[in-house]
Chains A and B, each alone.
Chain A
Amino acid sequence: DAGVTQSPTHLIKTRGQQVTLRCSPISGHKSVSWYQQVLGQGPQFIFQYYEKEERGRGNFPDRFSARQFPNYSSELNVNALLLGDSALYLCASSLGFGRDSTTGELFFGEGSRLTVL
């Protein structure tokens, strides 16, 4: 079975440009979360989507946006790129969402490595 797949795996952009990262969750998973991992730090929560609705947003500026499609895949968009946006962007999917779910284990993709020059 395919795990969480992300594309592209690596990309280089320049300041001010825009980037779109894509994620396909594990088949049957309806929840997708996005995380940013800067070198030397742990992943930091950006967004969570469940059943195509935003269910949570981390402390990131409005330049960051995301959406989830009817097939539960997701895109993360970052506008007006800054040097500080250089990071590994991780997508994770889970079967459940709420605290009462017993199947909430997060499965991560390998990430998209973004370099902003």
Chain B
Amino acid sequence: DQQVKQNSPSLSVQEGRISILNCDYTNSMFDYFLWYKKYPAEGPTFLISISSIKDKNEDGRFTVFLNKSAKHLSLHIVPSQPGDSAVYFCAAMTDSWGKLQFGAGTQVVVTP
């Protein structure tokens, strides 16, 4: 049962424009959400996170928005850069930092 869903398998965006990645979840017990970025032949790397008590968290070019009532979060990347081309995973946590539920990922391609 997929409790974290990323319904867009791919996203193409021009350099300098905004990238918006979406993620939906079904388990209301999730109380912490994370985004990971993965390049080919590398492990996922942590990007940004948000607690369920907040609705927005910013870190440089990356902003995560959380809408608890809709069970929806999104990642905004502004401006997009060619180095942002990667697979982005949304993940959610309930009781342990090591036990995350991941979405299927969104492949982002930033074109010049």
Residues of A within 8 A of B (CB): 4, 31-33, 35, 40-45, 48, 50, 55-56, 58, 90, 92, 94, 96-99, 101, 104-111
Contact = CB atoms under 8 A, between A and B. Distances in A.
A17 to B, nearest CB: 25
Contacts of A31: 97-98
Nearest to B89: A42
Given A41-B104, A42-B105, A43-B89, A110 B97 contact: no
Nearest to A59: B1
B96 A56 contact: yes
Contacts of A92: 43, 98
Interface of B: 4, 6, 36, 41-46, 89, 91, 95-105
Do most interface residues of chain B lie in helix, strand or loop, or is the interface mixed? loop
27 contacts: A4-B43, A31-B98, A32-B98, A40-B104, A42-B89, A43-B44, A43-B89, A45-B101, A48-B98, A50-B98, A55-B96, A56-B96, A56-B98, A92-B98, A94-B97, A96-B97, A97-B97, A98-B97, A99-B95, A99-B96, A101-B97, A104-B97, A105-B46, A105-B97, A108-B45, A110-B42, A110-B43
